[in-house]
Amino acid sequence: FLSSPAGQFCCGLFALLILSNFWFLGVLYLLWMYLDWGTPCAGGRRSQWVRNWTIWNYFREYFPIQLIKTSDLNPKHNYLLGFHPHGVLVAGAFGNFCTGPSFKNLFPGLTPYLHIMPIWFGCPFFREYIMSAGMVSASKESVSYVLNNVGGGHASIIVIGGAEESLNAHPGSLTLNILKRKGFIKMALKHGAHLVPVFSFGENELYKQVANPRGSRLRTVQERLQKIMGFALPLFHARGVFQYSFGLIPFRQPIHTVVGSPIVVKRNPNPTKEEIEQLHALYLQELRKLFEEHKGKYGIPEHKTLIFE
């Protein structure tokens, strides 16, 4: 996010205020941030005006990005959607759940909340921008707030593989960091939120990443930095404005984000380890089933399948 023009502009604007004759505005904004600090964990502050900006139409059409529905989601329930894979840009998650009317038209009565790393809400001004698009913190407190909605109608979208998975975002890669990630399963059980696997075909094709196999010096450094800073630093490139050989503009590759069928989850405030393991295994089974049923439509060879790590 901070590598995006919007993130750089927001941070630059704040620095300009602090260093200029208008420093008092920067101080006032810091006071506002202090008073508003808990909002990203309390449903955020979305703006339909921002979510419907015309620029998002061009963003979705550039790839293009498309949301595919395979089953109805009853708005009387709350849902936890597991998004896979992370990719470098997470374009499918942003384009489908933070912009435009696609989700609302396909799943009427549901309000999507895309959970992202809490660190991004510490960036002045940028936090207002991402909250207005419908993004909220990925903290337990935030997920609980969304899934606790009485009467249903809320959908938490969590990129399960997290920043670590972005280091696997090579074209053709089907490796998902999920075997040790069970916190989302526990949250679904505690709140009785139905689980929905989501696979975004084409997400890993947007950039070419420098080779970083596990055990390599580069991968070791990246993993250490990820543990220290909380986010990964993949080394990637794509195309430029007037040439296709090098740049940071993502390649024009279609992204098809397929939303699977819900796994019914009964509320269990104190799930046992065995219950979490059982539901996690079922989720992996349904995720693989979703991938296998649709891979042929989106250019995945028949012999290729998901790799869970």
300 pLDDT band, cuts 50/70/90, is very high
Distance from C-alpha of 129 to C-alpha of 253, rounded to nearest angstrom: 26
pLDDT at 228: 81
The DSSP symbol for 191 reads H
- Please give the CATH topology (third level) of the domain spanning 5-308: Glycerol-3-phosphate (1)-acyltransferase (3.40.1130)
Name the residue among 183, 174, 214 with its Cα closest to residue 280: 183
Note the pLDDT of residue 159.
98
CA distance 293 to 221: 37
Provide, for the chain, the percentages of residues in helix, strand and coil under a 3-state DSSP scheme, each rounded to the nearest 5: 45, 15, 40
Find the mean pLDDT for residues 20-26: 67
Asked if residue 242 has pLDDT above 70, the reply is: yes
Q: How far is CA 187 from CA 5, 87, 157, 191, in A?
A: 34, 24, 12, 6
Task: Say if residue 1's pLDDT is above 50.
Answer: no
Among the residues of the chain, which ranges form H helices?
Answer: 5-19, 23-35, 48-51, 54-62, 91-97, 102-106, 126-132, 140-147, 162-165, 183-191, 217-229, 273-294
Annotate 255-298 with DSSP letters as a single string.
EEEEE---B-----SS--HHHHHHHHHHHHHHHHHHHHHHGGGG
pLDDT of residue 9: 52
In the structure encoding, which two tokens stand for residue 278, read together? 């059982």
Residue 218 near residue 270 (C-beta atoms within 8 A): no
What pLDDT sits at residue 3? 44
Q: Is residue 147 very low, low, confident or very high in pLDDT (cuts 50, 70, 90)?
A: very high
Determine the residue type at 137. Answer: S
Give the separation between CA 263 and CA 284, rounded to whole angstroms.
11
Coil, helix or strand for 155?
strand
pLDDT tens-place string over residues 93-105: 999 999 999 999 9
Q: Is the pLDDT of residue 250 over 50?
A: yes
CA distance 186 to 158: 13
pLDDT digits (tens, 9 = 90+) for 71-89: 999 999 999 999 999 999 8
- Of 158 and 120, more confident: 158
- Dist CA 10 CA 12 (whole Å): 5
When computed from its CA atoms, the radius of gyration of the chain, rounded to whole angstroms, is 20
- Span 143-164, average pLDDT: 96
And the tokens for 125? 């001004």
Q: How far apart are CA 261 and CA 276, in angstroms?
A: 19
Q: What is the mean pLDDT of residues 3-31?
A: 63
Residues 6+ apart with CB under 8 A from 200: 83, 84, 85, 87, 92, 93, 255, 256, 257, 258
Entry pTM: 0.91
